[in-house]
Structure 1
């Protein structure tokens, strides 16, 4: 048995959090002892496995600010993670063998205070590529943090990434780090989806005609490019509305945290966009749907609209494909490794015209939803199972322990 401590900044409901929770569950089921440490854990806004007793979570340092007047968010994220790391090393009393760190590498040198422990860093995407630098002051500030990110990432014993796309970006971003990262694809625990597989939209309280329903499932953040779904749907209504107007419907669902200003603002922006396009009566907005609702939506949708550009991996297309729903996605980033265009969905350009054209093929029947859905389901089972994910992660953990024994 290996004792694995997880250090994560905020155990919310995003894709990074889903991977961390899955990794902890995978190692626990392999017989290892796992414990999650985080700077923020809201029991009303988290994955159920972190509150129902399956995983032990310790939250420390939430009294530290997240920003200074809306700025310096990256700096405070670093400070909060360092605080969590120091708590783990100096005050937790946990005799850990491996630390699984993700998102923020700045805490790694402090975890090194426990000399015998191995450090695994999961790089969802280089942090320095997730922000803009419009001013000289911001460039200087980010230069310091970027240098720190590269130096501390280099100190990890093992670095994992979520896709070959992210691996290529990692190599370009951190040229001084000679060793290449390994790819550990996120996975699905099929049981979580199978237990809701018989639910209909009516069963989960949604009165939506699913005959021609399209679904977008992503957090309400501007980088997710959700306007593309609205604009594409508007064009589709113009093109085929006369024949299918009564059945066409779009659902925009996703993670929403009322504490996050961007979520609140962007949600309002999207509603206003739908209203200005004249389609607000044909669009349903859903904030943070429960798993049972999400599964019912994915099963009922004609296809999933996945709008982010250069997404690092993208777990939602994999979820949709497992449930037999084809995916229309931007032809970039992680979806190029999960979606097989023409077989399990359509990869296309990041324009409303291209998306609307792809959507029209499902409305008219030119794209065979059932055949694509079957191929999509089989692809997920073959390549993204929780069992495969668990075996790969366990192999990595055991390898780190073997390295420690040899020293």
Structure 2
């Protein structure tokens, strides 16, 4: 048995959070002792496994600010993570052999002061996610970018979530040429997807619609959610009125009242629906439950996955497992997960391209079923939770030898 502690900045609801929770579940299934330390954990806005007794979750540093007058989010996030690391290493009574850290590497110098081995999971270089579009922002980001590169190299092992991220890692962190990150696809535990799925209510999926398109992503501008609405609007213009009356779009996304961008972007998307005249044909859901997510994936006919150059993207994997075809941007992680023409369609991130692929489902009602069956087989063959568990277990046990 290896004692593993996960250090994560915010145990909310998102792809990174889902990845670390699934990693923890995988290690626990192999008999390892697992717990979490985080700077924030809200039982009303988190994954079920972090509040139902599966894991011990310790919160350290939630009193620290998330921003300063609406600015300096990155610096505040780094400070909160460093504080959590100091608590873990110097003041907690948690016993651990390995520290599994992700997202923010600035705390690694503190973690290296312990006798534990440090594993860093790089979802994507933070410096590439941050904006550098003004002189002040470039000045602000310069020391943070240098800090990220240096501290990432302090990990005993670095894992990345896709071959795409591995290639970006090498191009971005040029001083870490000797560091060869291993690819570990963050595959969910699909046992949770085999529970009985509730029938959808009209406030979730309208019963009077024949074809339901679905978007699942956080309400953040970088997720390119506007593309789904723009493509849906173009599709409505292309097809007949009778066909258009039978289609609907569900926009389901992670939403946190503490995050200004979530609130702003939610309103922006509503305004976009008004612009395209599709307000009555779009349902917005915020911070839905796991049960609602399963219902959406079970009863919607096609997932629209809009992020461009997304480093991996767990939602397409989940959708295909639930026999829901995927239309995704032809870049980043979906190139490794979605098979064009077989489990869905890969298109350029343009409304006309997405609308063209969506129209295929309107013209051929049987298309979704055939692509959905292919998607389920594809996931079972290439993205099994057992393979994910075996690989992570091997990394963990090798680290403590």
Give, in whole Å, the separation in 2 of the partners of 1:234 and 1:241: 13
**Normalized against structure 2, the TM-score is what?**
0.97
Residue 370 of structure 1 corresponds to 369
Judge conservation of contact 2:228–2:306 (CA < 8 Å) in 1. Answer: yes
SS in 2 for 1:7: strand
Give, in whole Å, the separation in 1 of the partners of 2:391 and 2:196: 27
Residue 21 of structure 1 corresponds to 21
**Normalized against structure 1, the TM-score is what?**
0.96
Residue 188 of structure 1 corresponds to 188
The count of aligned residue pairs is 400
Write the mapping of 1:214-229 to structure 2, written as runs, cut at 5 A: 214-229=213-228
> How far did 1:210 drift?
4.6
Once the two structures are superposed, residues 105-153 of structure 1 have per-residue CA deviations (whole angstroms, 9 ceiling, x without a partner) of: 0111101111x31000000000101111233232122110111111111
Q: For the structure 1 residues 361 and 206, does the alpha-carbon distance in structure 2 shift closer, same or farther, using more than 3 Å as the test?
A: closer
SS in 1 for 2:42: coil
SS in 2 for 1:259: coil
Judge conservation of contact 2:160–2:166 (CA < 8 Å) in 1. Answer: yes
Give, in whole Å, the separation in 2 of the partners of 1:305 and 1:70: 32
Give, in whole Å, the separation in 1 of the partners of 2:374 and 2:356: 22
2:68 matches 1:71: no
Write the mapping of 1:376-391 to structure 2, written as runs, cut at 5 A: 376-391=375-390
Give, in whole Å, the separation in 2 of the partners of 1:388 and 1:265: 40
Give, in whole Å, the separation in 1 of the partners of 2:331 and 2:206: 34
Q: For the structure 1 residues 202 and 138, does the alpha-carbon distance in structure 2 shift closer, same or farther, using more than 3 Å as the test?
A: closer
Q: For the structure 1 residues 67 and 113, does the alpha-carbon distance in structure 2 shift closer, same or farther, using more than 3 Å as the test?
A: same
Q: For the structure 1 residues 30 and 360, does the alpha-carbon distance in structure 2 shift closer, same or farther, using more than 3 Å as the test?
A: same
Residue 249 of structure 1 corresponds to 248
Judge conservation of contact 1:196–1:296 (CA < 8 Å) in 2. Answer: no
Residue 319 of structure 1 corresponds to 318
Once the two structures are superposed, residues 50-100 of structure 1 have per-residue CA deviations (whole angstroms, 9 ceiling, x without a partner) of: 110001100010011111111111111111111111111111112210000
SS in 2 for 1:377: helix
> How far did 1:297 drift?
1.2
Residue 233 of structure 1 corresponds to 232
> How far did 1:29 drift?
1.3
Once the two structures are superposed, residues 342-396 of structure 1 have per-residue CA deviations (whole angstroms, 9 ceiling, x without a partner) of: 1000000111111000000111018721111111001111222222211110010
> How far did 1:194 drift?
1.1
Q: For the structure 1 residues 45 and 365, does the alpha-carbon distance in structure 2 shift closer, same or farther, using more than 3 Å as the test?
A: same
Give, in whole Å, the separation in 2 of the partners of 1:141 and 1:247: 50
SS in 1 for 2:87: helix
Q: For the structure 1 residues 226 and 14, does the alpha-carbon distance in structure 2 shift closer, same or farther, using more than 3 Å as the test?
A: same
Cα root mean square deviation, aligned: 1.4
Residue 405 of structure 1 corresponds to none
Residue 200 of structure 1 corresponds to 199
Structure 1 unaligned spans of 5+: 403-407
SS in 2 for 1:295: helix
> How far did 1:193 drift?
1.1
Residue 146 of structure 2 corresponds to 147
Give, in whole Å, the separation in 1 of the partners of 2:238 and 2:102: 45
2:289 matches 1:293: no
Judge conservation of contact 1:163–1:184 (CA < 8 Å) in 2. Answer: yes
Give, in whole Å, the separation in 2 of the partners of 1:238 and 1:206: 22
Judge conservation of contact 1:298–1:325 (CA < 8 Å) in 2. Answer: yes
Residue 281 of structure 2 corresponds to 282
Judge conservation of contact 2:205–2:296 (CA < 8 Å) in 1. Answer: no
Q: For the structure 1 residues 229 and 205, does the alpha-carbon distance in structure 2 shift closer, same or farther, using more than 3 Å as the test?
A: closer
> How far did 1:234 drift?
0.7
> How far did 1:237 drift?
0.7
Judge conservation of contact 1:361–1:367 (CA < 8 Å) in 2. Answer: no
Residue 123 of structure 2 corresponds to 124
Give, in whole Å, the separation in 2 of the partners of 1:368 and 1:205: 23
> How far did 1:204 drift?
8.4
SS in 1 for 2:174: coil
2:190 matches 1:161: no
Give, in whole Å, the separation in 2 of the partners of 1:205 and 1:351: 27
Give, in whole Å, the separation in 1 of the partners of 2:189 and 2:19: 11
Structure 2 unaligned spans of 5+: none
